[in-house]
Amino acid sequence: MPNAATSKSGTIAQDALSGFLVFLIALPLCLGISVASGFPPIAGVFTAIVGGILITHWGSAALTIKGPAAGLIVITLGAVTELGMGDPIAGYHRALAVGVVAAVLQIIFAVVRAGGLAAIMPPTIVHGMLAAIGVIIIAKQVPVTVGFQGAGGEPFEMIMEIPHYITHSNPEIFLIGGLSLLLLVLFPLIPIKLFKKIPPPLVVVLTAIAFTLYFDLTHEHDYTFSHESFHVGPNLLVRLPGHIWEAIALPDFSMILTPVSLKYIVMFALVGTIESLLSVLAVDSMDPEKRVSNLNRDLLVTGIGNLVCACLGGLPMISEIVRSKANIDAGAKSRWSNFFHGLSLLLFVALLPNVLQLIPLAALAAMLVVTGSRLASPKEFKHAYDLGKDQFALFLTTFIVTLATDLLIGVGAGIALKIAIHLARGASLKDLFSTPLKATRDGNTLNIDLEGPVVFTNLLYLRQSFERNLNPDIEVVKLNFEKATLIDHTALSKIKSSAEEWPNAKLELIGLEGFQASSDHPEAARVAIAVGEGVHCND
């Protein structure tokens, strides 16, 4: 029988392998997210190194991978553009100052234990926001993928211009970007077991580097294709400083009190916090050992990590869901996998920077186009529609307003509409922010009786009741909705996701037969039959 030392050694070895495999995925994404955000390419790598090496063992989320996220590209690029006022270098340094203040705000959120607020954000609104971000990423990255120079404008305008970008593309760059897209989509479909273990981004990077050498992109030159002349050169490749410490950049606080800075401070703090904590909850649900993270603790270390990153010149950090899932799929056992992911990045960038400078920007842009298409997948729209017309309205409102304005206004519009729907269904404004509940124990069973509307605005009370009363010996949790008047989708989905994290207890929902649902989906919003009329019933 293996002893504890042997078992620990085996865990470290498995985590080292997992961390290395995640590094292969993370490296090109870190570079691509940085470039798309208006930051130097190395900035995203800084973030992943800090998130992996520096703060790995300070937080509670065991299997999450921390680093830059595609979901923050729109905010970061907006900050650089607006604060730079035509000077991208100045905008970069001023955006770092915004990152410093936003990180301090995240730390304050954690200290006052506000981490749970992100966990009760309506998922339909969050997905609508992410879908809009996905469309914006696609709009911004398609021109880079095909080698079109000088693209710009609003998202709707750029989407309409995609045919123009393609017809006026640089053929060699279009070949690299187009092939990268094909590899990202088709390589995972190859029915060969060995290929399943190779990360598609790694295949894309190696293929793209081969084309860099074949087309001699490291040297400025012109070439002719179909009787037309095109120019290529190192400006189409990743650019890095000679040494990693030369990339350290300091924040510029000269505009930190302007309305533009304040707007982006709020965006970074709120959207980064929400996206990060939702990722932590998702990773907890996938953890084979069913470990439950302390959201406030994780937010605290994320804020500290963001403070360090912003002071060094790095991008904002979150717990990233795609890389975290890849970490779990690779067999990660503990926080050490995130450490080895960060260490691998540090060693590669420090020892082999010349290799990175052979990567075409078109290949990185192709990865982000695929990422954006996943965020804005038609499946997301269909899922919202399946939840009911109310949820679809929330999704579309958040999606359209975000595209037309910005993230804060889009999310605010979605939340305002959700509250209006609850009021139209008979809830009072006072009831939306209070939940009379009674928790009693009967042996190994915890009984919780709910009254009035059970919705996202008062869900925190229920979560706190779980935390206070869910002792290790509790085997069954019974939620009684017989005196409730309204149950929204957020409440049902969050209750069920919370139950998935309980190591011992099972969840039972009582009294749902007295409600009418807005669709056939099991997590659709429900109105008590005595209160609501004319609503489709699925019971």
Reported as a pLDDT band with limits 50, 70 and 90, residue 403 is very high
* pTM for this model (two decimals): 0.89
Residue in the block written with tokens 């400006």: 235
**Backbone CA torsion sign across 132, 134, 137, 139:** negative
User: From start to end of 161-236, where are the E strands?
Assistant: 221-225, 228-232
Answer whether residue 103 shows pLDDT above 70. Answer: yes
Residue 352: strand, helix, or coil:
coil
- Of these ranges, 9-13, 174-178, 491-495, the one predicted with the greatest mean pLDDT is 174-178
Mean pLDDT of 81-93: 97
Q: Taking CA 321 as the corner, what is the angle to CA 75 and CA 391, rounded to the nearest 5 degrees?
A: 75
Q: Is 68 left (phi over 0), alpha (psi -120 to 50) or beta?
A: beta
Cβ neighbourhood burial of 53 (10 Å; 0-12, 13-18, 19+):
middle
Among 61, 131, 120, 129, which Cα is nearest to 493's? 120
Q: Compute the distance between CA of residue 501 and CA of residue 65 in angstroms, rounded to an integer.
A: 19
pLDDT number for residue 532: 44
Answer whether residue 452 shows pLDDT above 70. Answer: yes
pLDDT number for residue 160: 92
Reported as a pLDDT band with limits 50, 70 and 90, residue 538 is very low
Least confident of 95-104, 143-152, 302-311, 450-459: 143-152
Domain boundaries, the chain: 9-135+217-351, 377-425, 430-528
**pLDDT > 90 fraction of the chain, expressed in percent and rounded:** 73
Q: Compute the distance between CA of residue 20 and CA of residue 191 in angstroms, rounded to an integer.
A: 24
Tokens of 200: 């598609």
Q: Compute the distance between CA of residue 420 and CA of residue 414 in angstroms, rounded to an integer.
A: 10
pLDDT number for residue 288: 85
pLDDT number for residue 286: 83
443 with 478: CB under 8 angstroms?
no
3-state helix, strand, coil in the chain (%, to 5): 65, 10, 25
401 with 530: CB under 8 angstroms?
no
Show Cβ contacts of residue 295 under 8 Å, excluding neighbours closer than 6 positions: 115, 116, 118, 119, 277, 280, 281
**For helices 259-286 and 88-111, angle between their N-to-C axes, nearest 10 degrees:** 60
Q: Taking CA 118 as the corner, what is the angle to CA 115 and CA 119, rounded to the nearest 5 degrees?
A: 95
Q: Compute the distance between CA of residue 194 and CA of residue 492 in angstroms, rounded to an integer.
A: 41
Cβ neighbourhood burial of 408 (10 Å; 0-12, 13-18, 19+):
middle
Answer whether residue 408 shows pLDDT above 90. Answer: no
pLDDT number for residue 233: 96
Q: What is the pLDDT of residues 175-193, one digit of tens each?
A: 999 999 999 999 999 998 8
Mean pLDDT of 256-265: 97
Q: Taking CA 53 as the corner, what is the angle to CA 47 and CA 56, rounded to the nearest 5 degrees?
A: 100
Answer whether residue 433 shows pLDDT above 60. Answer: yes
324 with 284: CB under 8 angstroms?
no
pLDDT number for residue 537: 35
pLDDT number for residue 535: 38
Which CATH code is given to the segment(s) 430-528?
A: 3.30.750.24
pLDDT number for residue 120: 85
**Backbone CA torsion sign across 420, 425, 429, 431:** negative
Q: What is the pLDDT of residues 335-389, one digit of tens each?
A: 999 999 999 999 999 888 899 999 999 999 999 999 999 999 999 999 999 999 9
66 with 48: CB under 8 angstroms?
yes
pLDDT number for residue 156: 85
**What's the 3-state SS for 265-322?**
HHHHHHHHHHHHHHHHHHHHHHCCCCCCCCHHHHHHHHHHHHHHHHHHCCCCCEEEHH
Query: Which residues, listed in sequence order, are joined to residue 452 by a DSSP beta bridge?
Result: 484
Q: Taking CA 286 as the corner, what is the angle to CA 284 and CA 288, rounded to the nearest 5 degrees?
A: 95
Q: Is 101 left (phi over 0), alpha (psi -120 to 50) or beta?
A: alpha
Answer whether residue 197 shows pLDDT above 70. Answer: yes
Q: How many helices (H) and strands (E) does the chain have?
A: 23, 10
Provide the residue count of the chain. Answer: 539
Tokens of 425: 């269904």
**Backbone CA torsion sign across 462, 465, 470, 475:** negative
pLDDT number for residue 539: 36
Tokens of 56: 């790995």
Among 362, 361, 27, 377, which Cα is nearest to 179's? 362
Mean pLDDT of 16-24: 92
Least confident of 27-31, 131-135, 292-296: 292-296
Average pLDDT, the chain: 91
Specify the DSSP class assigned to residue 52: I
Q: Which residue has the higher pLDDT, 239 or 282?
A: 239
Mean pLDDT of 105-120: 88
174 with 228: CB under 8 angstroms?
no
Q: Which residue has the higher pLDDT, 420 or 12?
A: 420
Show Cβ contacts of residue 38 under 8 Å, excluding neighbours closer than 6 positions: 76, 77, 80, 81, 88, 91, 92, 95
pLDDT number for residue 3: 55
- Of these ranges, 154-163, 280-289, 327-336, 484-493, the one predicted with the greatest mean pLDDT is 484-493
Q: Compute the distance between CA of residue 286 and CA of residue 297 in angstroms, rounded to an integer.
A: 20
Tokens of 408: 């804060």
Query: Which residues, listed in sequence order, are joined to residue 479 by a DSSP beta bridge?
Result: 448, 509
Q: What are phi and psi of 155, to 5 degrees?
A: -55, -50
Rg (CA), the chain: 24
Q: What is the pLDDT of residues 160-171, one digit of tens each?
A: 999 999 999 999
Chain centroid offset of residue 167 CA: 33
Mean pLDDT of 417-432: 93
CA dihedral 23, 243, 98, 360 (to 10 degrees): -60
